[in-house]
Structure 1
Amino acid sequence: MKTNHQLLVTPLHRLFQEQEIGGKSSITINAVLTEAAKEQLPPAESDEDRILLLVIDQQNSFIEGGDLGVPGSVQDTVRLGKFVYQNLHKITQIALTKDVHTPLQIFHPCWWLDRNGQHPVPVETVITVESVINGDWTPVYSPARSLAYLHELKAGGKRELRIWPYHCLEGTNGVEFESQFMNLVYFHTVARRSTPVILAKGQDPLSEMYGAFYREDGVASAANRAFLDGMPDYNKIYIAGQALSHCVLDTLKHILEHHADNRAFTESIHLLTDCSSPIPGTEGLTVTAIEELANRYGIRLMTAEGLTI
């Protein structure tokens, strides 16, 4: 049996430079796609086993050095890139979630003022119903709806509202997908004749949206929900991306809860644990949450390094 190394004509270094992760790619996309056109791989539509790679928020803002950089994300990207390259002939479809924001959103500093007229410090500030009622924090925009949202979070057992640094702002470098990884995504597009799916999220100003399919206020994204409905059409699903503690975990929960009655499907989901990292301080809670999902739904936890699917 041929290995993928024998199947692919193009060496990895012509597509993916580890030292450039999170920055501008010295390899032009036209060079990448010229290489892809030389490959002789079967088209994805001919795959008997349909395999989906779902990558969460692989964007510059979440790469180390970015606006909300996740420690460990560079090495996660190295491993993810090698996984895609090694298994390019088996991956049928790549789907990407994309966090998209503007400054005026409820989880950004400019939305709130304290008693002294100061905006909150990102990451360390959590705003609760009680802190707003007591006057510790006042919403600058949509005050009634902002308070109602905090009540919804509390009543629904959701995370409390944490203030994040400005990140993934539309039109900035932060919102863009990480360039080295995208070289491989588009190489796959041409080499396997498979257009990637892009699932945008996070654009409502009055709600957070960690997971790809539902906002924190419970409203579903119609376009993304259609993709969620169709996920059992794949035989296997591999999931990676950032951050494990928030957007990866919540996307995983959305998928599993939506398809809770389909055990064969939930057991087909594989979480690549070495291609995702948690926000610092959440490590223990994240491990516990992932283990609970594995026990309840039968998802597979595995490492991507050296993995041939």
Structure 2
Amino acid sequence: MTTNNLIITPFERLFQVQEIGGKSSITINEVLAQAAEEQFTPASEDIDRNLLLVIDQQNSFIEGGDLGVPGSVQDTARIGKFMYQNLHKITQIALTKDVHTPLQIFHPCWWKDRDGQHPRPVETVITVESVISGEWTPVFSPEESLAYLHELKRGGKRELRIWPYHCLEGTNGVEFESQFMNLVYFHTGVRRSTPVILAKGQDPLSEMYGAFYREDGVASEANRAFLDGMLAYSNIYIAGQALSHCVLDTLKHILEHHAANRTFTSSIHLLIDCSSPIPGTEQLTEAAIKELVNQYGIQLVEAEGLNI
């Protein structure tokens, strides 16, 4: 077994920054063949168990994608270097995956205005009042749509924003970014640790930014077991897209669920240089994260050069 934690395979063999968001020039079969040449202790033997949780690292959210987040390419490059550098210390990798179809309440086709026009993505927010006044009318499930808006208002949630079609099942946008996945599966082969994939966002009548609860407060039972089991890890490292929405809300879900366990919440590390906010949300996002630091003791760290 390797005892000095040195990887034989060069980073550049696995990960090409210029290919982020596109097709990988190295195949997954080649990645796993390289992994088979490495001799590291299996993750199952780790004493300190470290979890890397990466949120929605999918093509739709990479710059140039359907809902590309500015800064996501360099975020991805830093995540890749962090994974490679800490391969011997990362016990488990978990990935959230946004999965949609066109006919969902946050997509343009769900709504029409008085002139029969669909809303413009990103810039359009639909409220209870705008529906009651007739400014916007749901094309599908009118009673349920209005009830959902009322639920958002009662719960103090974000107002419903219309997003471009993104992460649609069967499209390139829903797939995990290829260079990132090279490192995920290299880790799988080297450490003998299968990644956990947490799907979210399939309900047509609800948004689901965070991985564990819909915006109307309904839990994702399929993902709740993972949320409960996070106590098994010594440290948790979180990255992904977008910081202002899916990363922030997933982080909130975890912290609120385990709020009574300060030892656990203070073991959570947000990789602040591996996640970027939606433009225009920077100040709100910074304030929200600062509040989580103060309330739960989470740690803000930079992945660049970090040895865990």
> Is 1:191–2:190 an aligned residue pair?
yes
Q: TM-score, normalization: structure 2? A: 0.99
Q: What does residue range 48-87 of structure 1 map to in structure 2 within 5 Å?
A: 48-87=47-86
Within 5 Å, give how 1:281-300 maps onto structure 2: 281-300=280-299
The C-alpha deviation readout for 1:30-50, integer Å capped at 9, x for no partner, is 110000000000000000000
For 1:220 and 1:229, the matched residues in 2 are separated by: 12
Match of 2:131 in 1: 132
Displacement of 1:190 after TM fit? 0.7
Deviation at 1:223, TM superposition (A): 1.4
Aligned to 1:275, what secondary structure does the other structure show? coil
* Equivalent residue number for residue 97 of structure 1: 96
| Aligned-residue offset at 1:3 | 5.9
Q: Amino acid of the residue matched to residue 212 of structure 1? A: A
Residues 1:208 and 2:188 are matched in the alignment:
no
Aligned identity (percent) is: 83
Q: Map of 1:269-308 to 2, 5 A cutoff?
A: 269-308=268-307
Distance 1:218 1:288 in 2: 23
- Residue in 2 aligned with 1:36? 35
**1:224 and 2:189 correspond:** no
**2:45 corresponds to:** 46
Aligned to 1:180: 179
Report the CA distance between 1:243 and its aligned residue.
0.1
1:149 is the counterpart of 2:148: yes
Distance 1:182 1:81 in 2: 9
SS in 1 for 2:203: coil
Q: Distance in 1 between matches of 2:4 and 2:227?
A: 32
Counterpart-to-counterpart distance in 2, 1:126 and 1:273: 28
Matching residue of 1:9: 8
In the TM superposition, what is the alpha-carbon distance from 1:2 to its structure 2 partner? 6.9
C-alpha distance after superposition, 1:169-222 (max 9, x if no partner):
000000000000000000000100000000000000000000000000111111
Alpha-carbon distance in structure 1 between the residues aligned to 2:4 and 2:97: 32
SS at structure 1 position matched to 2:216: coil
Matched residue of 1:232: which SS?
Answer: helix
AA at the equivalent of 1:160: E
Deviation at 1:121, TM superposition (A): 0.1
* Offset of residue 108 of structure 1: 0.0
In 1, Cα distance between equivalents of 2:3 and 2:135: 64
TM-score normalised per structure 1: 0.98
Equivalent residue of 2:134, what SS?
Answer: coil
CA deviations over 1:115-145 (Å, ceiling 9, x no partner)? 0000000000000000000000000000000
Q: Secondary structure, in 3 states, of the residue corresponding to 1:98?
A: strand
Distance 2:233 2:151 in 1: 34
Q: What letter matches 1:270 in structure 2?
A: H
Cα distance change, pair 14–104 in 1 and its aligned pair in 2 (3 A): same
Given residue 91 of structure 1, which amino acid in structure 2 is its aligned partner? I
Counterparts of 1:141 and 1:223, CA distance in 2 = 26
Partner of 1:257: 256
Question: 1:235 corresponds to which residue?
Answer: 234
| 1:205 counterpart SS class | coil
Please tell me the root mean square deviation across aligned C-alpha atoms, in Å. 0.9
Structure 1, residues 77-120: CA drift from partner, whole Å, max 9, x if none? 00000000000000000000000000000000000000000000
Q: Which amino acid aligns with 2:88?
A: H
Partner of 1:111: 110
SS state at 2:37 partner: coil
- Structure 1 runs (4+) deviating above 2 angstroms are 1-4
- Partner amino acid, structure 1, of 2:145: S
Aligned counterparts of 2:31 and 2:185: Cα–Cα separation in 1: 8
Using the alignment, how far apart are the partners of 2:214 and 2:284 within structure 1? 21
Deviations 1:148-185 (A, max 9, x none): 00000000000000000000000000000000000000
What is the distance in 1 between the residues matched to 2:34 and 2:59? 25
Amino acid aligned to 1:194: S
Q: Aligned-pair distance for 1:52?
A: 0.1
1:291/1:3 CA distance change after superposition, 3 Å: farther
**What is the count of residue pairs matched by the alignment?**
307
Q: How many Å separate the matches in 1 of 2:277 and 2:206? A: 22
Aligned-partner Cα distance in 2 for 1:106–1:130: 17
Secondary structure of residue in 2 paired with 1:274: coil
